[in-house]
Structure 1
Amino acid sequence: MSVLIITHSQDNESIPLVMNAITDKGGKAFRFDTDKFPTEVQLDVYYSKGCEKLILTTDSQKLDLSEISAVWYRRIAIGSRIPGKMEPQLRQASIQESRATIMGMIASIKGFHLDFLPNIRFAENKQLQLQVARELGLDTPRTLITNNPKAVKQFASECEQGIIAKMLSSFAIYDKEGQEQVVFTNPVKDADLENLDGLRFCPMTFQEKLPKALELRTTIVGQRVFTAAVDSQCNPKATYDWRRQGVALINAWKAYNLPQDIERKLLQLMAYFGLNYGAIDIILTPDGRHVFLEVNPVGEFFWLECYSNLPISQAIAEVLLSSAHTMRSHLPIEDRVPSLNNYFSRQQAS
């Protein structure tokens, strides 16, 4: 069994963890750092009568992609090493064409895919996540997504404990020195409610402020559910977003047992989106509510394995190696991405 891991050269410890797990189980793992394409890695895609070849060549190896039995799509940074001094329009065209080439390559690999790219993109819609979670009976926070200041003020008046603001997409802002400033979840103060003019340029997501007994991170791999918990409220700087103090809290994560009913509903959520992998954020309130926040279809997990002893990389390796036997990508397209069929059916009905 040969597994292709699609990532970039700056990815974290999760890659060697999974590669070692694959090797320990008798498989072979190949790493494709997408930031090295097209400047350092070559791809030959050849179609002719009775012949089809997809060959990926790096400095150390030449890989026939027809021999790949499973694919783990983890991260991409295609074209990032194309020289920045290149004429901007030409550089953008090069990145766009490189991206189209690699995305076509990924879609063309006939082995098992831990998660198909269309399913990942579909599942990244956080508005839809909340809708589906509610329909499945999961507890979710009161939420408002808007560019209307009046709606925000009304929403704030309805939330007795106050509200927080966050973004639907993950991004960072870079200062003049090039330092990364990640946009975290923040409380909305009374003064902020009088300064909402910026919404006309960018909508935001507002949610009720929930009291936290613990913050949970649930990682689902296939049918296995791994959950860890942290008391983020023990650190004043992590009150609204534990990621602000991720390093300081890294040793504080402990394994946690979710109620079986919550696990069942989370697995149903994953099935809806056609995912084998997802990292889910949950708040446990002091009165025992498990409140679903979101699922990241390619979310991080390595610190949970290292500090909470959750065998997530082993589970990923097992799914990649065992499910490769089923060769799901040889199934008809309607069986491979059922969630998208459901989505388009709903669009036609409406």
Structure 2
Amino acid sequence: MILVLSHDAYEQGTDPVISWLLHHKANFLKISIGDLLGAKIPYKVDIDRQDIVVNGISFKDKISVIWHRRFMGEMNHFLNFESVHAANLRGEVRKEIDVFMEYLSTLLKNKKWLTSFQKININKIEALNIAQDCGLIIPKSCIVNNREEALKFWNQHPEGVITKTISGSRGHYIHENDTYVMLTTDMTQDRMEDLPAFFLPTLFQAKVKADFEIRVFYLDKQFFPTAILTPKSARSVDRKMDNNTVSTHFVPYQLPAEIMEKLNVFMEKIGLNTGSIDLMKCQDGSLVFLEVNPVGQYSAESERCNYKIEKSIAEWLIKQDN
């Protein structure tokens, strides 16, 4: 049986795959964090037998493959407390949930996973080093906590410097009628000089002189590369700002065999069998590795390039279950 761990509500990367599982009449069970924490379904964790039983289904005996995608994303709904002790309660409940989930992943560690619990939040700075060790080109990068070093780095790279989160997270904040989102930012001279003398550790990278970006969805040695073409005059520093513009086009792309070989080695070393890889095609013809997202979105590339990635994921899960 296939176990799908994902959102309770609609999730654009998960639900189309489930449609294909239904089409193929696959034997699967979907569970959300809300099912486990929201008193929606009866279940038991049998510690003596080292088993999880949901609706009478033994995971130890029945589950063979697990697809883990954005499972914990809705956990914050269960951490909202209206109490003078709200902060303490959130900390205590979060600790209980974390240990519980860690134990569940341990019980299921011998199953075939498509992104395990342990690999869902990779260290993206370490990933750059691993990519470099695999022979891939990475942007010149540094993490500094002071204006003096930041300005030195900026002066060493006349092509420009950007900054983005170390974790790769894309948090958002709502204030009244406005939403503020953390995006990759172009560091102009004014911005650099306005930096305080000291600040929290911040990632700076030299800008890559690129013709276009390539998003590669990777599935167990299968590559689905998409060139994302936006005129330079309309191109944002953060590509997420360009996805829905009429001037942006998604077209299939053929990766060089040498790059695919290096990416295969990279994914094996970092412990991922799936993920969305971002590359930049430079003006000199080289490809620069930016990052890999273990649970990146792929629906736009799949639809516009007719890749049917959702179908491939469903068929991979079914194959592992047979």
* TM-score strictly above 0.5: yes
What does 1:113-192 correspond to in 2, within 5 Å?
A: 113-121=113-121, 124-169=122-167, 170-177=169-176, 179-192=178-191
- Read off the aligned partner of 1:290 and give its amino acid letter: L
Alpha-carbon separation, structure 2, partners of 1:175 and 1:209: 30
Distance change >3 Å, CA 250–CA 269, structure 1 → 2: farther
- Aligned-partner SS, 1:181: strand
Structure 1 segment 1-350 matched on structure 2, within 5 A = 2-41=1-40, 42-48=42-48, 51-57=49-55, 63-66=57-60, 67-75=62-70, 76=72, 77-78=74-75, 80-86=77-83, 87-88=85-86, 89-109=88-108, 110-121=110-121, 124-169=122-167, 170-177=169-176, 179-197=178-196, 200-233=198-231, 236=234, 238-248=235-245, 252-324=249-321
Q: Report the Cα offset of residue 196 of structure 1.
A: 1.9
1:90-117 superposed Cα distances (whole Å, 9 cap, x missing partner): 2432233133223322331243112322
CA contact (8 A) 1:78 1:99 kept: no
Cα shift readout 1:279-316 (whole Å, capped 9, x = no counterpart):
11111122212111011112111221122211322222
Q: What's the TM-score once normalised by structure 2's chain length? A: 0.88
2:67 partner amino acid: W
1:40 and 1:262 mapped to 2: Cα distance? 48
Task: Report the Cα distance in structure 2 between the residues aligned to 1:250 and 1:316, rounded to whole angstroms.
Answer: 30
Q: In 1, distance between residues paired with 2:214 and 2:246?
A: 13
Q: For structure 1, which runs of at least 5 residues remain unmatched after alignment?
A: 326-350
Paired with 2:149 and 2:103, the residues of 1 have a C-alpha distance of 43
Change (3 A) 1:53 1:271: closer
How far apart, CA to CA, are the structure 1 residues paired with 2:232 and 2:307? 23
Letter in structure 2 aligned against 1:47: I
Aligned pair in 2 of structure 1 residues 129, 91: CA closer, same or farther (>3 Å)?
A: closer
C-alpha distance 210-152 of structure 1, shift in aligned 2 (>3 A): same
Residues 145 and 204 in structure 1, CA contact (< 8 A), matched pair in contact too: yes
User: CA–CA distance in 2 between the matches of 1:188 and 1:113?
Assistant: 40
Q: Could you tell me how far apart the structure 1 residues matched to 2:28 and 2:172 are?
A: 35
Any conservation in 1 of the 2:231–2:248 contact (CA below 8 Å)?
no
Call closer, same or farther: CA 1:64–1:251 in 2, change over 3 Å. Answer: farther
The aligned amino acid for 1:72 is W
Q: What is the rounded CA distance, in whole Å, between the counterparts of 2:36 and 2:98 in structure 1?
A: 9
1:257 deviates by 0.8
Contact map agreement 1:232 1:249 (CA 8 A) in 2: no
Unaligned runs of 5+ in 2: none
Task: Give the whole-Å Cα distance in 2 for the aligned partners of 1:119 and 1:268.
Answer: 16
| Counterpart Cα distance in 1 of 2:300 and 2:102 | 29
Cα separation, 1, equivalents of 2:160 and 2:248: 30
* Distance change in 2, residues 1:190/1:72 (3 Å): same
* Residue 81 of structure 1: how far off its partner (Å): 3.5
Query: Scaled by the length of structure 1, what TM-score is found?
Result: 0.82
| Shift in CA distance, 197/79, structure 1 to aligned 2, threshold 3 Å | closer
Bigger mean CA deviation after superposition, 203-212 or 227-236: 227-236
Q: Quick one: distance in 1 between partners of 2:288 and 2:248? A: 24
Deviations 1:62-90 (A, max 9, x none): 54323112111111133523543254122
Q: How many residues align?
A: 314
**Retained in 2: the 8 A contact 1:232–1:242?**
no
Q: Which moved more, 1:217-226 or 1:308-317?
A: 308-317
Q: Deviations over 1:151-207 (max 9, x none)?
A: 211111111211111112213241322754221111111111212217x34211111
Aligned counterparts of 1:270 and 1:53: Cα–Cα separation in 2 = 30
Give the aligned CA root-mean-square deviation in angstroms: 2.4
Deviation of 1:29 (Å): 2.7
SS state of the match for residue 151, structure 1? helix
Work out whether residues 50 and 107 of structure 2, in 8 Å CA contact, stay in contact via their aligned partners in 1.
no
2-side partners of 1:46 and 1:249: how far apart?
A: 54
